[in-house]
A and B are shown apart, each in its own frame.
Chain A
Amino acid sequence: MDIELSEISSFIQGIPPFDTLPKPSLAKLIRELSINYVRKGEMLPPKGINEPRLYIVRKGALSCMTHDGELISRLGEGDLCTEFCKQILHIPNDIEQRAPRQIQSDEDCLVYSLDCKVISELTEKFPSIDDYFSYNSSQRLKQKMSKVNEEAVISSSLMNTSVSDFYHSPVAGIDATQSIQDAAIKMTEHGYSCLVVLDNTKSIGIVTDKDIRRRCVAAGLPITAYISEIMTQNMSTIDLKNNAYDALMLMTSKRIHHLPVTKQGEVVGMVTVTDLMNNEGHNAVNFSSIIHKAKSLDALIEISILLPKLQIRLAKLGASADHVGKSISAITMAFTKRLIEMAEEKYGPAPVPYAWLAAGSQARQEQLAHSDQDNGIIICDSMKPYDDAWFESLAHFVCDGLASCGFIYCPGDIMATNPKWRQPTKVWQKYFDGWVDTPTPQALLNSSVFFDLETICGDASLLDTVRTNLLRKTTKSSLFIAHLSKNALGLRPPLGFFRDFVLKQNGKHKDTLDLKHNGIAPIVDLARIYALSQGISAVNTIERIKQAAGSAAISTSSAENLIDAYEFLGFLRVNHQANRLVKGLEPDNYLSPKELSKLEREHLKDAFKVIKTLQDSRQASF
Chain B
Amino acid sequence: MHSLINYLVGYETKRKRLLKKVPKGPLHDFLSVPFPALDTPIDELPILAVDFETTGLDAKADKLLSVGFVLLDQEQIKLNSSYHQIIKAKTQLEESNVIIHQITDAQKEQGQPLATVVEQLLKALAGKVMLVHFARIERQFLQQACLELYGFMPDFPMIDTLVVAKRKLDKRDVAYDPSELRLSNLRHQLKLPDHHGHDALNDAIATAELLLAQMANRANTDNILLKDIIL
Residues in B with CB closer than 8 Å to A36 are 75-77, 212
Contact residue among B84, B196, B216 (Cβ-Cβ distance under 8 Å from A37): B216
A33 with B75: in contact, given A3-B84, A39-B216, A108-B191 (CB under 8 Å)?
no
| Interface 1/0 per residue, A30-45 and B, CB below 8 Å | 1111111101000000
Task: Decide yes or no whether B54 CB sits under 8 A from chain A.
Answer: no
Complex: how many Å from CA A519 to CA B154? 68
Q: Are A35 and B79 in contact (CB under 8 A)?
A: yes
Q: Are A33 and B79 in contact (CB under 8 A)?
A: yes
Give chain A nearest CB distance to B168 CB in angstroms.
Answer: 16
Chain B residue numbers with a CB within 8 Å of A47 are 43, 75
A7 touches B196 (CB 8 A): yes
Say yes or no: A59 contacts B193, CB within 8 Å: yes
Q: Is A427 an interface residue (CB 8 A)?
A: no
Least CB distance from B216 to A in Å reads: 5
Within A1-40, the residues touching B (CB, 8 Å) are 1, 3-8, 30-37, 39
Q: Which chain B residue shows the least CB distance to A58?
A: B193
Interface centre among A4, A34, A37, A59 (most CB of B within 10 A): A37
CB nearest neighbor in B for A33: B79
Contacts of A33 in B (CB 8 A): 79
Interface string of B41-63 (1 = CB under 8 A from A): 00100000000000000000000
- Give chain B residues whose Cβ lies under 8 Å from the Cβ of A7: 193, 195-196, 202
- Interface of chain B, helix or strand or loop or mixed? mixed
Q: Is A584 an interface residue (CB 8 A)?
A: no
Q: List chain B residues, Cβ under 8 A from A37.
A: 75, 209, 212-213, 215-216
Question: Do A1 and B107 have beta carbons less than 8 Å apart?
Answer: yes
Chain B 62-96 near chain A by CB (<8 Å), digits 1 or 0: 00000000000011111110111110000000000
Nearest CB of chain A from residue B190's CB, rounded to whole Å: 8
For B80, the chain A residues whose CB sits under 8 A away are 31-32
Check if A5 sits within 8 Å of B82, measured CB to CB.
yes
Number of A-B contacts (CB under 8 A): 77
CB-contacts of A60-77 with B (<8 A): 60
**Chain B: which residue is nearest A48 at the CB level?**
B74
Assess whether B208 is interfacial by the CB under 8 Å rule.
Answer: yes
Does residue B192 face the partner (Cβ distance < 8 Å to A)? Answer: yes
CB distance from B38 to the nearest CB of A (A): 21
Residues of chain B from 16 to 38 with CB closer than 8 A to chain A in the complex: none
Are B202 and A110 interface neighbours, CB within 8 A? no
In the complex, whether B201 has a CB less than 8 A from a CB of chain A is yes
Q: Scan residues 76-110 of chain A and give those whose CB is less than 8 A from a CB of chain B.
A: 108, 110
Residues from chain B with a CB closer than 8 A to the CB of A4 are 199
Given contacts A37-B212, A108-B191, whether A32 and B79 have CB atoms under 8 Å apart is yes
> At the interface, yes or no: B97 with Cβ under 8 Å from chain A?
no
Docked pose: A6 CA to B196 CA in angstroms: 10
Measured between beta carbons, the chain B residues less than 8 angstroms from A1 are: 84-86, 107, 110-111
By a CB distance below 8 angstroms, the chain A residues around B209 are 35, 37, 110
CA–CA, A34 and B70, complex, Å: 11
Residue of A nearest to B199 (CB): A4
The answer to the question of B205 belonging to the interface, with a C-beta cut-off of 8 Å to chain A, is: yes
A305 to B3, CA, bound (A): 82
Chain B 205-231 near chain A by CB (<8 Å), digits 1 or 0: 100110011011100010000000000
CB nearest to A11 among chain B residues: B193
Whether A34 and B77, one on each chain, are in contact in the complex, defined by CB atoms closer than 8 angstroms, is: yes
Shortest B119–chain A CB gap in Å is 18
Distance between A575 CB and nearest chain B CB, rounded to angstroms: 32
Q: Looking at chain A, what size class is its interface with the partner chain?
A: 20 to 34
Report the bound CA distance from A88 to B79 in whole Å: 22
Q: What separation, in Å, do the CA atoms of A583 and B126 have in the docked complex?
A: 65
**In whole angstroms, how far apart are the Cα atoms of A34 and B201 in the complex?**
15
Shortest Cβ distance from B84 into A: residue: A3
Instruction: Report whether A34 and B76 are in contact in the complex, using a CB–CB cutoff of 8 Å.
Output: yes
Q: Check A49 against B82 for contact (C-beta < 8 Å).
A: no
Q: Are A5 and B79 in contact (CB under 8 A)?
A: yes
The answer to whether A48 and B84 touch across the interface, beta carbons within 8 angstroms, is no
State the CA gap A548–B209 with chains docked (Å): 56
Asked whether B191 lies within 8 Å of A5 as measured between CB atoms, the reply is no
A550 within 8 A of B: no
A34 and B82: CB pair below 8 A?
Answer: no
The reply on A46 being an interface residue by CB < 8 A is yes
Complex interface: chain A residues within 8 A of B191 (CB): 59-60, 108
CA distance A49 to B76 in the complex (A): 9
Instruction: Tell me whether B43 and A108 are in contact (CB under 8 A).
Output: no
User: Is the beta-carbon distance between A31 and B82 smaller than 8 angstroms?
Assistant: yes
A110 to chain B: which residues have CB within 8 Å? 192-193, 209, 212-213
A34: chain B residues at CB < 8 Å are 76-79
Complex Cα distance, B76 from A110, in Å, reads: 11
Contact at A5–B195, with CB atoms within 8 Å? no
Contact for A35 among B190, B202, B208, CB less than 8 A: B208
Identity of the chain A residue whose Cβ is nearest the Cβ of B80 in the assembled complex: A31
Shortest Cβ distance from residue B80 to the other chain A in the assembled complex, whole angstroms: 5
Contact A30 B86 (CB under 8 A): no
**Chain A: minimal CB distance from B120 (Å):** 14
Q: Which of A3, A8, A36, A60 has the most CB of B within 10 A?
A: A3
Contact call A30/B213, Cβ cutoff below 8 A: no
CB distance from A537 to the nearest CB of B (A): 58
Q: Which residue of B lies closest to A49 (CB)?
A: B76
Most buried by A among B43, B110, B191: B191
- Using Cβ atoms and an 8 Å threshold, which residues of chain A touch B205? 5, 8, 35
Within the complex, what minimum Cβ distance (angstroms) separates A159 from chain B? 41
Closest Cβ–Cβ distance, residue B48 to chain A (whole Å): 15
Question: A45-58 interface mask toward B, CB cutoff 8 Å, 1 = contact, 0 = none?
Answer: 01111000000001
A108 B216 Cβ-Cβ under 8 A: yes
Q: How far is the CA of A7 from the CA of B43 in the complex (A)?
A: 27
Which residues of B are in contact with A by a Cβ distance under 8 Å? 43, 74-80, 82-86, 107, 110-111, 190-193, 195-196, 199, 201-202, 205, 208-209, 212-213, 215-217, 221
What are 12 A-to-B residue pairs whose CB atoms are below 8 Å? A1-B107, A3-B84, A5-B79, A5-B205, A31-B80, A33-B79, A37-B215, A47-B43, A108-B190, A108-B191, A108-B216, A108-B217
Q: A4-B199, A31-B79 are in contact. List 14 more A-B contacts (CB 8 A).
A: A1-B84, A3-B82, A3-B201, A5-B202, A7-B202, A33-B79, A34-B76, A34-B78, A35-B205, A36-B75, A39-B216, A58-B193, A108-B213, A110-B209
8 shortest A-B CB distances, which residue pairs?
Answer: A37-B212, A35-B77, A48-B74, A3-B84, A33-B79, A39-B216, A34-B76, A59-B193
